[in-house]
Amino acid sequence: MRLLLVEDEERVASFIAKGLEGAGFVTDVARTGKDALAYLRAKGPVDVVLLDVGLPDIDGFEVLAELRKTDQETPIIMLTARGDVPSRVKGLDLGADDYLPKPFDFDELIARLRAQLRHARQPQASILQVGDLHLDLKTRRAKRGERVATLTSREFALLEFLMRHEGQVLSRSQILGSVWGYSFDPQSNVVDVYVGYLRGKLDRQGEETIIETVRGGGYRLRMPEEPDPA
Domains of the chain (ranges; CATH) run 2-121 (3.40.50.2300), 127-221 (1.10.10.10)
Q: Number of helices (H) and strands (E), helices first, in the chain?
A: 8, 11
In angstroms, what is the C-alpha Rg of the chain?
A: 20
- The residues, any chain, with a CB within 8 Å of residue 108's CB and separated by 6 or more, are 100
Q: Are 17 and 29 in contact (CB under 8 A)?
A: yes
Any bridge partners for residue 219, and if so which? 170, 213
Residue 103: asked if its preceding bond is cis (omega within 30°), the reply is yes
Helix (H) or strand (E) holding 117: helix 106-121
What is the distance between the alpha carbons of residues 156 and 170, in angstroms, rounded to a whole number?
17
**Span 13-17, average pLDDT:** 93
Residue whose C-alpha is closest to residue 27's, from 52, 9, 3: 3
Per cent of the chain over pLDDT 70 is 90
**172-224 pLDDT, tens digit each:** 888 887 787 655 455 678 899 999 999 999 998 888 899 999 988 899 998 87
**Span 124-137, average pLDDT:** 84
The DSSP string of 155-206 is HHHHHHHHHHTTT--B-HHHHIIIII-S---TT--HHHHHHHHHHHHHPPTT
Query: Does pTM surpass 0.75?
Result: no
- The residues, any chain, with a CB within 8 Å of residue 148's CB and separated by 6 or more, are 141, 142
